[in-house]
Chains A and B, each alone.
Chain A
Amino acid sequence: MASLNLSNSPAGVSVKLKPLVLFNICDAYIRRNESQPRVIGTLLGHITDGVVYVQNCYAVPHNESNDQVSVDIQHHRTLYDLHHRVNVKEQVVGWYATGSSLSGPDALIQDFYAAECFNAVHLTVDTAMDTGSLSIAAYIARKLNLGEQKLARKFQEVECEIGTEEIETVGVDTLKKDGAAPLPKDLDGLQKTLDRLQEVLSRAHAYAEDVAAGKRPADISLGRYLADTVTGIPRFEAEEFENMLTDSTQDSLLVMYLSNLVRAHLALADRLGTSTLPLL
């Protein structure tokens, strides 16, 4: 007699998402056809030590009606080939769909992607905000087999983490402005950083005061951390510091002087050259 068999739950699988993937999904959702309730697409990335790193994605046209679903496999293959030529390291790791709930056809699509890669991840992004928030969830599928016969599939939610390093490079504020915003200037950034630094320092200060006054229970590891940080500041003699400061200042001033000199020369050559005898 055939035995009933539920495939092992892959332990320790988690998903790490790049924000770009989510932005791409949002854009694809905005650009969907009028009658189309949701968009699906392929996720690209790589798997290291059981962690699925999702780095890129592209939308794939599909059609759903009642219990039938058709995915444009040709489109998926072509785009995969094209992406592969740019970045060899990115493999198919799963697929995404917009919406919050899993539906019947999802199992079919999951079957297709499971054949494309090992441990296909299914990502849902609730772009329509049915649940009231833009929830993001990742699933992997477990198979329920009776001997050779497939009986069912179980989607199991796995941990999903969103890396923010990339949006930090661009700047959250720059991206967050509703509508259009010009790029921030250098000095604005520095000022913001200083404001933050000050805030963090005053918070640490307030915490230390509170603990000293007995208003708050002391946390030893936190205290150690603060002490380490404070002792980490190098201590200089006033003279030494002065020297260092003037040295650096003079260096920068010299470089600036040089660059201005070069510019002056360029401008001079521009003016001195005549139409019959151009210097440059």
Chain B
Amino acid sequence: MKKYTWLTLWALFLTTLLFTTSCDSDDVAPMPTVEYKKLAEGNAAGSDIKVELYSTEDLATGYNQLYVALFDAAGKRIEQGSVSLKPQMDMGMMKHAAPVENPVSEQTKNGYFPGAVVFTMPSGEMGSWTLGIQVQANGQTGTFTTPVTIKEPATSRLKSFVSKTDGAKYFVVYLQPQKPKVGVNDIEIAVYKANSMMDYPAVTNLSLVLEPEMPTMGHGSPNNVNPTHAGGGHYKGKANFTMTGLWYLHLTINDATGEAGKLHFEVNF
């Protein structure tokens, strides 16, 4: 008779155990492993410094993070120096440059001088890109120039518009989110103005209005945060996606005098 009382108690105990041990499955995102791919190497003309150019992705129209490594004649890594990037598009009849972000520090980070170039068009029949890397280190100065191939990405990451307020051409480039998810996403874009064919300064005084839209459904999403200037022409805000699929990130760009232009980026995931 006691046996069944114990049976019941055991059953209760096991159930309780079952309930308390059913833990939440929390998906922990693994740390992404960054792989630097070497794009080019060579000596900086006029010096004995060896220049190596790296990136983590294939170069494409839009914002490209680049990493420059310098070595002295003995093959030793140079940790201190100054690097500036000089992209140039040769279209035969004319040449133009592109917006760049030169390494801000004269000190390497993990052995590299990080910078960025916003390539404004793909390589092709229209013309070809070269990237000049001007280095100054160990009391020497030189430039290494290499041809680079720029692909057009499946989804455009660079937009341009002619401002309604000052008539100048502006480039807007998409940086984040690179891995969009359903939920709140950090958004980052950068804006550059074409002052001339060779001068593309970052624009820091804009106010942006962000409006995500799902074009096939015709709906938006709530609680987005308009990107605001975060330094160097970069603007950061929040974009919310309520489901996967194709989204448009509509941006209205205003300067001090009013609406300068409108454009949208596509996000498809």
Q: A and B: partners?
A: no
Chain B positions near chain A (C-beta within 8 angstroms): none
